[in-house]
A and B are shown apart, each in its own frame.
Chain A
Amino acid sequence: MLPLSSYFSLLYLAILLPGTVLAYTVLPQKYRRAVLLLSSYAVFWLVSGKLLCYLLFSTISVHHIGLWLENTQLEANRLLETAPKETRKDIRARTQQRRKKIVAFGIAVQFGILLALKYGAFFISNFNELADLMKVTVKLPVPSVILPIGISFYTMQAASYMLDVYRENIPADRNLMRLALYMSFFPQLMEGPICRYSETAQQLWDAPPMRWKNLMLGLQRILWGIMKKMVVADRLNLLITEAFDNYVHYDGFMIAAAVVCYTVQLYMDFSGTMDLVLGSGQIFGIKLPENFQRPFFSRTIQEFWRRWHITLGAWFRDYVFYPISLSAPIKKLPLLLQKRLGRTYGFIFSSIPALFCVWLCNGLWHGAGWNFIFFGMYHFALILVENIMEPPAVWLAKRLHINRDGILYRCMQIVRTAVLFCIGELFFRASSLKAGFAMFKKIFTDFTLARVKDNTFFSHGADKHDFLIVVVTLALILAVGCIQERGVSVRQWIEKRNLAVRLSLWYLLILFIVIFGAYGTGYIPVDPIYAGF
């Protein structure tokens, strides 16, 4: 058991973070970046111990690949200056070819490590089963490796850096320390957000001076995140674990409730962690990219994924969806299909290959398991259906004189999207795909309110008081979300109040967490969910 397993531990909140803040405040700029890097490696060490060497290896190799790519280009440029006109095209093509090979090699190394560590066991055990089915007596030993926490996140960052250098969106970084800081900045290393080099590297390197205002805003956001996680996510944990582990013993209502609770928990845990992470960054004046934008206000699944785990979606969009869509064979598809299916459908159907790849990757990224693959395919199907249904829906609405922007219609869409997402989360959380289907079936075949009537529903880890406080907290979060949806900044509003109001808000929030947080005897806090991916 390693000493640090969550940002919500005393070790991080009371020692690591304040210690870093203190050192950062008193030291001059040139040492501040060293403080950040040192803290980052200290946190990684406390989380994953010796597995720190994986991160170091990735950092060094990525740094090297970046330089290699750039030097190849520079060399070609030198050649181009003196080369006669007719050979220029040839040189360009050859350079491009070489650069492509280099970046492919770099990506293969990074994802090779990730695949071997994360998916090795999954592939081998599936291979064994297949061999078993075909009556071949080969049994490969299933390796048991320990993943460095956060590898899924920093590998994505490493890949995006190399690809951005390859695409010449950014210059290669000659400064190993800046790149190391980009790869490992401590608040984001466990659960993201997945940053782009162009977004954070220079900010981190600049290590802006500590500002009182940033400190206050950062701490405020951290508290807000702690509230989400400790009051809501942790409080629902017992019920969810019980229902998902022993679903055979429970009826459809219990399972449906657990699925909704899990979706709430996942959102509160992940977005709460992001509040803490972005808040930690803000203290140092570092602006990390947002990962959530009130996803449960989304009207479609597509919109949902633009507002939920934003940085992951953006990564897949930029490095999987566009490259595949714009690759030579697929690029022809829309114009080809247009003739047969008409414009709109031509485009929708020609996006299928890329969309499929994105969702397969998305499912697999969350973990090696058939339920995750199913989760990806489920969303792939939803988005496809959504696209196909859009034109008839528009037509129908017009015929029936339904205002698609009316509040009622919008609410209907929001609820529908949330329900669809919840169903996806059922399979996501289920211990296996089989269990997922069995649970899903139970919701419809075994639905009874008996447990609510005789109150046994409230004896599985969450009683009426627990639900009450969860609902109150969610209402508070919803209210803040509604205000933000209208484009009003709640934090700016608070900042303009006088000292007494601000002070009481601080004290109230802390007291609220202290009293209504689910910690201590009788509670088992949920492990950071996304750190496991």
Chain B
Amino acid sequence: MKQLIEILEDVNPGVDYNTCTDLVDGGYLNSLSILAIVAELEEAFDIVISTVEVTPKNFNSAQSLWEMVLRLKEE
């Protein structure tokens, strides 16, 4: 989780990722930074994130992102 937050802050600084729960709906992440996050996560956790996973539901908070990472790691 800590690593995830670091990635997020690295890609798109200036948001409190510990508390924010509307990263996508609130317009904090644009499509470019979402792509960056996908690329970084894939690299860092050795997972494959497909288009299906790119939904506001998964990307709205650090917590939901982390859950997605864990789930994909298991598969």
Contact = CB atoms under 8 A, between A and B. Distances in A.
Interface of A: 167-169, 302, 306, 317-318, 321-323, 325-326, 331, 334-335, 347-348, 350-351, 387
Given A318-B54, A321-B31, 17 more contacts: A167-B51, A167-B52, A168-B52, A169-B52, A306-B27, A317-B31, A322-B31, A322-B35, A323-B51, A326-B35, A326-B38, A326-B49, A326-B54, A331-B39, A347-B35, A347-B39, A348-B32
Nearest to B42: A331
A325 B49 CA distance: 11
A302 B55 CA distance: 19
A322 B54 contact: yes
Interface of B: 27, 30-32, 35-36, 38-39, 42-43, 49-52, 54-55
Nearest to B57: A169
Contacts of B30: 302
B44 to A, nearest CB: 12
Contacts of A318: 54
Q: For A326, A334, A347, which residue has the most chain B Cβ atoms within 10 angstroms?
A: A326
**Closest 3 interchain pairs by CB?**
A167-B52, A334-B39, A323-B51
B32 A387 contact: yes
Most chain A Cβ neighbours within 10 Å, of B32, B54, B55: B32
A447 to B, nearest CB: 37
A335 B50 CA distance: 17
22 contacts: A167-B51, A168-B52, A169-B52, A169-B55, A317-B31, A318-B54, A321-B31, A322-B51, A325-B35, A326-B38, A326-B49, A326-B51, A331-B39, A331-B42, A335-B43, A347-B32, A347-B36, A348-B32, A351-B31, A351-B32, A351-B35, A387-B32
A318 B32 CA distance: 13
Which of A167, A168, A322, A351 gathers the greatest number of chain B CB atoms within 10 Å? A322
Contacts of B52: 167-169
A334 B51 contact: no
A348 B51 CA distance: 19
Nearest to A331: B39
Contacts of A351: 31-32, 35
Contacts of B54: 318, 322, 326
A323 B38 CA distance: 12
B50 A334 contact: no
A318 B55 CA distance: 8
Contacts of B32: 347-348, 351, 387
Contacts of A168: 52
Contacts of A302: 30
Contacts of A335: 39, 43
Nearest to B34: A322
Nearest to A333: B39
B8 to A, nearest CB: 14
Contacts of A334: 35-36, 39
A355 to B, nearest CB: 9
A387 B31 CA distance: 12
Contacts of B31: 317, 321-322, 351
A348 B38 CA distance: 14
B1 to A, nearest CB: 23
B58 to A, nearest CB: 11
B43 to A, nearest CB: 7
B10 to A, nearest CB: 9
A211 to B, nearest CB: 27
B33 to A, nearest CB: 8
B4 to A, nearest CB: 18
